[in-house]
C-alpha cells in the first residue's frame, strides 16, 4: 500500500488529490490521512440549501464543499481525521466491507469494540464515530471516511440540518446522542497522536506502507482539478435543479415573517414575504432586488442591508432575515 502524506487542510484540495491519484492508475491502493479546517461536506446527490445552515456557515466561516460520492452531509474540523483509500476497482457495485474490514482491524488491535452499522457507519456502543462513502472513477474506487476524535460536536449539531426522519428511525433525539468522539474511549491526547498510532497499527496489516510524494508539476495538476471542480461554486451549490423552501419565524416585538422561496440551479428565482410585521416595505422592491442572485448569504446580505436601510422592518434586523433565509 502506498501512503501519501499531506499537510493540506482544504477539503477541496484533498478531494482533487483523490481524483488525481485515481487517474494515475498506479495499480496499488493508496492511503491519505488528513484533517480539515472547519468544513461542511455535502454528498453528491444532496441539496446544499436543505442540508446546511448556510447562515451559521457564513457567520463562523465554515467552508462548504461537495463530494463526488453519495451519502449524507458531514462536519469535519481539526479534531477529526479523514482517511482516503484509492484502490483498483473490483466490481461496479458499492462495497463498503472491503475497506471497513481493514479499518475495523486497526481499531480491534487497539482494543476498541467497533461495530459496523447496516449501512456505512462504524459505531461504539451504538454511537457513530465514522461515516463512509465511495465512488468509482477510471477503473478505481475512491473510498473515504471520517473518524471523529475530538470534533466540536456543538458546531456540528448547529451546522447540519439533520432530517428528523433519520433521527426518529434510529430512536434518537439529537446529533449529540447519535455520535461519539474517540477521545472518550482512547488514551491519546490529541488528533496527531491518534493519527500516528493509526498508521503504526495499520502498517503490519498491509505489509508495510510505501511513502510517495508529489512533484511540483503534480501539485499543479491537482490544483487544476480543484479549481475546475471541487472549489467551483456551481459544483457545490447548483447540483439540484429546483429547490422550494418555506421558512417562517416569530420575532419577539417584530411579529411573524413567512418567506416562500424558489431556487433554480443555485440562483434565487422567486421570493414571497408575508406575515404580521410592521413596515413600509414594498414586497416587489424586495423581490426585484434579490431575484437572479446566487442564493448564498454573502450574495444576499448587501442587498438586504440596502433595502432595510431605506425601509426598515419594525424590530427585525438584517441578521434576523439572513438567519431565517439560510438557517
Please give the pLDDT value at position 173: 38
Place of cell 483523490: 18
What's the pLDDT tens digit per position in 137-178? 999 999 999 999 999 999 998 888 655 444 344 443 345 568
Taking alpha carbons only, the member of 121, 123, 127 closest to residue 176 is 127
Distance (Å, rounded) from C-alpha 7 to C-alpha 317? 41
> Strand pairing of 255-264 and 242-251?
antiparallel
Q: What is the pLDDT of residue 47?
A: 81
| pLDDT number for residue 184 | 94
pLDDT of residue 118: 67
What pLDDT score was predicted for residue 196?
97
Half-sphere exposure of 75 (CA within 13 A, CB side): 26
Contact 283, 262 (CB under 8 A): no
State the pTM of this model: 0.81
Cα separation, 194 vs 299, whole angstroms: 40
Burial class (CB in 10 A: 0-12, 13-18, 19+), 114: middle
**What pLDDT is stored for residue 27 in this prediction?**
93
pLDDT score of 297: 94
Q: Which residues of the chain have pLDDT under 70?
A: 118, 161-177
Region 242-326: CATH code: 3.30.390.50
Cell numbers found for residue 232: 467551483
The CATH architecture annotation of domain 2-237 reads 2-Layer Sandwich (3.30)
Q: What is the pLDDT of residues 283-306, one digit of tens each?
A: 888 888 999 999 999 999 999 999
Q: Break the chain into its structural domains and give their ranges.
A: 2-237, 242-326
pLDDT score of 174: 44
Distance in angstroms (rounded) separating the CA atoms of residues 308 and 282: 11
Amino acid at each position: 500500500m502506498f501512503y501519501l502524506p499531506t499537510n493540506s487542510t482544504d477539503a477541496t484540495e484533498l478531494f482533487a488529490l483523490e481524483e488525481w491519484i485515481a487517474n494515475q492508475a498506479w495499480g496499488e491502493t493508496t492511503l491519505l490521512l488528513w484533517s480539515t479546517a472547519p468544513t461542511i461536506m455535502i454528498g453528491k446527490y444532496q441539496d446544499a440549501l436543505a442540508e446546511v445552515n448556510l447562515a451559521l456557515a457564513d457567520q463562523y466561516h465554515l467552508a462548504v464543499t461537495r463530494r463526488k460520492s453519495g451519502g449524507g452531509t458531514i462536519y469535519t474540523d481539526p479534531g477529526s481525521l479523514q482517511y482516503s483509500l484509492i484502490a483498483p476497482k473490483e466490481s461496479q457495485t458499492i462495497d463498503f466491507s472491503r475497506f471497513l474490514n481493514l479499518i475495523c482491524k486497526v481499531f480491534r488491535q487497539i482494543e476498541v469494540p467497533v461495530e459496523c452499522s447496516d449501512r456505512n457507519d462504524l459505531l461504539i456502543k451504538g454511537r457513530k464515530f465514522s461515516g463512509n462513502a465511495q465512488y468509482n472513477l477510471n477503473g478505481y474506487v475512491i473510498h473515504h471516511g471520517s473518524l471523529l476524535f475530538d470534533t466540536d460536536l456543538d458546531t456540528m449539531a448547529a451546522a447540519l440540518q439533520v432530517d428528523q426522519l433519520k433521527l426518529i428511525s434510529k430512536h434518537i433525539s439529537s446529533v449529540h446522542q447519535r455520535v461519539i468522539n474517540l477521545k472518550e474511549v482512547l488514551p491519546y491526547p490529541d488528533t496527531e497522536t491518534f493519527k500516528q498510532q493509526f498508521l503504526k497499527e495499520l502498517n503490519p496489516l498491509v505489509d508495510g506502507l510505501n511513502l510517495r510524494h508529489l512533484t511540483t508539476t503534480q501539485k499543479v495538476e491537482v490544483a487544476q482539478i480543484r479549481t475546475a471542480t471541487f472549489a467551483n461554486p456551481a459544483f457545490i451549490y447548483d447540483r439540484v435543479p429546483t429547490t422550494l423552501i418555506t421558512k417562517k419565524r416569530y420575532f419577539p416585538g417584530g411579529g411573524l415573517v413567512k418567506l416562500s422561496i424558489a431556487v433554480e440551479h443555485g440562483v434565487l428565482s422567486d421570493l414571497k414575504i408575508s406575515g404580521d410585521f410592521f413596515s413600509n416595505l414594498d414586497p416587489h422592491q424586495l423581490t426585484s432586488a434579490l431575484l437572479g442572485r446566487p442564493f448564498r448569504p454573502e450574495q444576499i446580505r448587501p442587498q438586504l442591508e440596502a433595502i432595510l436601510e431605506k425601509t426598515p422592518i419594525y424590530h427585525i434586523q438584517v441578521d434576523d432575515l439572513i438567519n431565517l433565509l439560510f438557517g
